[in-house]
Copies of this chain bind each other. A is one copy, B any other.
């Protein structure tokens, strides 16, 4: 890859920035007029020709302005990656919102999704913190009516699942509480395998509940990620890319289906660590439907204990300058929150 001169570099970044704002191909004249450059349009044209030659820009048709290629965006992103910071005031507003809201994972997730969508004007995705090494922490059994029992199962790492069981026969709350207490002593801190290896209990009720607990933990452990939260689908509806092209419309369909989303997060994330941040441009990573889109994603949480992913999807010309620092900042915040809440167990 040939080197870029300093001038080419500024020109390229300027042009991409302008295109991201205007969504219009950028010509030499526009560049000179809007950014009072001390050069003539002809010189700019020469440079743009060079940049086109190198693969950073392209022309939609012979006589239109230039538009960034994927390569161009990649360069643009790499340039701002380490430098972009969220204004302190925005940071404050965001963190304020988190610490104001009730301390509840579900709320945090919705809030994160909403903030990301709002700041980036794209579609946000957040997965709840999740661990593949699920360990038992606590169970509660609450009788509701007759044979119906509400079971609340808490895992080490903070995941909570509730389920209504129907028992073979009515059981008093007292007996349920005793069962819960026994099981809590017995199972504290055990992983799936250890629980499965336990000898059968004499007490039939104990054994029934135990089986259910086991099934529930297994179910949780099998999932590749926690519950998925998303927001801002409608943000993107007003973008010209999506309004026109049938192509891009399909990308949205993808986001309507939870299962596809889960897949996407699972596929894109394994090669990334907590703290890292990835920018996938133009459907990098083999997503045909997302060829016109970009994603900014990051992992958050406490490695080995509970981690989740969060990110933003938008048109390829999304505002990286805004999105990247936001994703990074929110990921950091969530990591802290998760850490405060569940670490040390």
Would you call A90 an interface residue if the criterion is a C-beta within 8 Å of the partner chain's C-beta atoms?
no
A229 to chain B, nearest CB (A): 12
Cβ-closest chain B residue relative to A158: B144
Q: A242 — nearest CB in chain B belongs to which residue?
A: B237
Q: Please measure, in the bound complex, the distance between the C-alpha atom of A145 and the C-alpha atom of B166, giving whole angstroms.
A: 32
Q: Which of B152, B165, B249 contacts A140 (CB 8 A)?
A: B152
Q: Do residues A146 and B344 form an inter-chain contact, with CB atoms below 8 A? A: yes
A272 interfacial contact with B, CB 8 Å: no
The B-contacting residues of A in range 119-143, CB under 8 angstroms, are: 137-138, 140, 142
Contacts of A211 on B, CB cut-off 8 Å?
none
Q: Which of B148, B154, B253 contacts A142 (CB 8 A)?
A: B154
Q: How far is the CA of A181 from the CA of B158 in the complex (A)?
A: 23
Q: Which residue of B lies closest to A181 (CB)?
A: B177
> When chains A and B are docked, how far (Å) is the Cα of A154 from the Cα of B231?
28
Main SS at interface, chain A: mixed
How many residues of chain A are within 8 Å of chain B by beta carbon? 41
A163 at the binding interface (Cβ < 8 Å): yes
- Cα–Cα, bound, A177→B185 (Å): 13
Contact A103–B234 (Cβ < 8 Å): no
Contact string against B for A residues 237-276, beta-carbon threshold 8 Å, 1 for contact and 0 otherwise: 1100000000001001101100000000000000000000
CA separation between A253 and B232, bound complex, in Å? 9
Given A103-B165, A256-B232, residue A150 in contact with residue B154 (CB < 8 A): yes
Q: Which residues of B contact A232 (CB under 8 A)?
A: 256
Q: Say if the beta carbon of A37 comes within 8 Å of chain B.
A: no
Cα–Cα, bound, A233→B233 (Å): 8
Q: Does B249 contact A238, Cβ atoms closer than 8 Å?
A: yes
Task: Specify which chain B residues have a CB less than 8 angstroms from the CB of A152 in the assembled complex.
Answer: 140, 152, 160, 162
Say yes or no for A341: interface residue by CB 8 A criterion. Answer: yes
The answer on a CB contact under 8 Å between A345 and B234 is no
Known contacts A152-B140, A154-B150, A249-B237, A342 near B145 by CB under 8 Å: yes
- A343 interface hit (Cβ, 8 Å): yes
How distant is A254 from chain B, measured CB to nearest CB, in Å?
A: 9
| Contact partners of A233 in chain B: CB under 8 A | 233-234, 256
Q: How far is the CB of A170 from chain B (nearest CB, A)?
A: 11
Shortest beta-carbon distance from A344 to chain B in Å: 5
Q: Are B138 and A142 in contact (CB under 8 A)?
A: yes
Flag whether A6 is at the interface (Cβ < 8 A). Answer: no
Report the Cα distance A341→B181, complex, angstroms. Answer: 25
Residue A102 lies at the interface, judged by CB distance under 8 Å to chain B = yes
Chain B nearest Cβ from A97, distance in angstroms: 15
A252 to B256, CA, bound (A): 14
Which 9 residue pairs spanning A and B have beta carbons closest together? A234-B256, A103-B164, A140-B140, A145-B344, A234-B253, A138-B142, A104-B163, A152-B152, A102-B163
Between-chain CB contacts (< 8 Å), 23 pairs: A102-B163, A102-B164, A103-B163, A103-B164, A103-B165, A104-B162, A104-B164, A140-B152, A142-B154, A144-B154, A144-B158, A144-B341, A144-B345, A148-B341, A152-B160, A231-B256, A233-B234, A233-B256, A234-B252, A234-B255, A234-B256, A237-B249, A238-B249
